[in-house]
Amino acid sequence: MSIQTLIAEDQPEHFAFDKESEKEIKKAISKYPEGRQASAVKSLLYIAQKQNDNWIPVKAIEEIAKRLEMAEMRVLEVASFYSMFNLKPVGKYYLQACGTTPCMLRGSDDVMRCIKDKLNISSGETSACGKFSLLEVECLGACVNAPILQVNDDFYEDLDYQATKELLEALEADNQPAIGSVMGRQGSEAEGGATTLKAAKRSGKKT
Partner 1 sequence: MPKLTVDGIEVEVEDGATVLQACEEAGAEIPRFCYHERLSIAGNCRMCLVDMERAPKPVASCAMPAGDGMVISTKSERVKKAREGVMEFLLVNHPLDCPICDQGGECDLQDQAMGYGHDASRYSENKRAVSEKHMGPLIKTVMARCIHCTRCVRFSTEVAGVADLGAIGRGEGVEITTYLEKTLASELSANVIDLCPVGALTSRPYAFVARPWELNKVESIDVSDAMGANIRIDARGNQVLRVLPRLNEDINEEWISDKARYAIDGLRRQRLDKPYLRGTDGRLHPARWDDAFAAIAGQMKKTKADKMAAIAGDQIDAEAMFALKSLFEKLGSPHIDCRQDGAKLTAKNRASYIFNTTIAGIDEADAIVIIGSNPRIEAPVMNARIRRLYLNKQVPIAHIGPELDLTYPVEHLGDDLAVLETLASGKHPLAKQLKKAKKPMIIVGMGALRRADGGAVMALCHQLADATGMVNADWNGFNVLHHAAARVAGLDLGLVPGKGGKDVQGILSASSKGEMDFVWLLGADELDTDLLAKPFVVYQGHHGDKGAQCADVVLPGAAWAEKDGLYVNFEGRVQMARRAAFPPGDAREDWAILRAFSETINKTLSFDSLSELRDEMVAAAPVFATLDEIQPAKWSKFGRAAKLKSEPVEAGLDEFYMTSAISRASETMAECYQATLAGKSAIAAE
Q: Does 3 bind partner 1 (CB under 8 A)?
A: yes
Are 47 and 24 spatial neighbours (Cβ–Cβ below 8 Å)? yes
Residue 28 has a CB neighbour count (10 Å cut-off) of 19
In the set 73, 173, 197, 199, which binds partner 1 (CB under 8 A)?
A: 73
Q: Which is nearer to partner 1, 13 or 174 (CB)?
A: 13
Q: Does 2 bind partner 1 (CB under 8 A)?
A: yes
Q: Does 71 bind partner 1 (CB under 8 A)?
A: yes
In the set 24, 72, 160, 172, which binds partner 1 (CB under 8 A)?
A: 72
Residue 161 in 3-state DSSP?
A: helix
DSSP structure class, residue 126: B
Percent helix, strand, coil in the chain, to 5, is: 40, 10, 50
Residue 151 in 3-state DSSP?
A: strand
Q: Does 169 bind partner 1 (CB under 8 A)?
A: no
Least Cβ distance, residue 1 to partner 1 (angstroms):
5
DSSP element (H, E) containing 160: none
In the set 41, 45, 60, 76, which binds partner 1 (CB under 8 A)?
A: 76
Q: Which is nearer to partner 1, 61 or 168 (CB)?
A: 61
In the stretch 26-65, what mask flags binding to partner 1 with x, by CB under 8 A? --------------------------------x-------
Least Cβ distance, residue 3 to partner 1 (angstroms):
5
- Amino acid, res. 125: E
Q: Which is nearer to partner 1, 24 or 72 (CB)?
A: 72
Taking phi first (over 0 means left), then psi (-120 to 50 degrees means alpha), and beta for anything else, what does residue 120 get? left
In terms of Cβ atoms closer than 10 Å to its own Cβ (0-12, 13-18, 19+), residue 66 is: exposed
By CB under 8 A, how many residues form the interface with partner 1? 14
DSSP structure class, residue 198: T
Where does this chain bind partner 1 (CB under 8 A)?
Answer: 1-3, 6-7, 58, 71-74, 76-77, 80-81
